Amino acid sequence: MEWEKVLANAVQDGRIRELHLRKIPRLKTCANWREVEPIGWIDYKMRFAHYKGGIVKLNSKIYFVTEQTLNALSEFISIKFKTTLAVIKD
């Protein structure tokens, strides 16, 4: 519950902390992808993970959607990310 409150405000001024990025759940399936609001694009490599995809908002919660999922959805809907988010190291 506490992490949900922290993650709801994780993206501020086009930046997100690395710790918050690791805690954001991945959105794999959704009943209606047209309700998804794009927040920003992420292309960030950590020591053991590479985050390449988008941060989106759905039902006032934020999620990470991988580039592969976005490419698979591209023939059905168009999700445009206007900003690239900077990741702040902890």
What's the pLDDT at 38?
93
- Check if the beta carbon of residue 58 is closer than 8 Å to that of residue 21: no
What's the pLDDT at 12?
78
What's the pLDDT at 59?
87
What's the pLDDT at 67?
94
Nearest to 60 by CA among 84, 33, 81, 36: 36
Report the alpha-carbon distance of residue 41 to residue 62 in Å, rounded: 13
* pLDDT tens across the length of the chain (90 residues): 465 666 666 787 888 888 888 888 999 888 889 999 999 999 999 889 899 999 999 988 889 999 999 999 999 888 899 999 988 887
How much is the pTM? 0.86
What's the pLDDT at 55?
92
Phi-psi group of 8: left, alpha or beta (phi > 0 → left; psi -120 to 50 → alpha; rest → beta): alpha
CA distances from 57 to 10, 37, 75, 86, 90 (A): 11, 5, 21, 17, 23
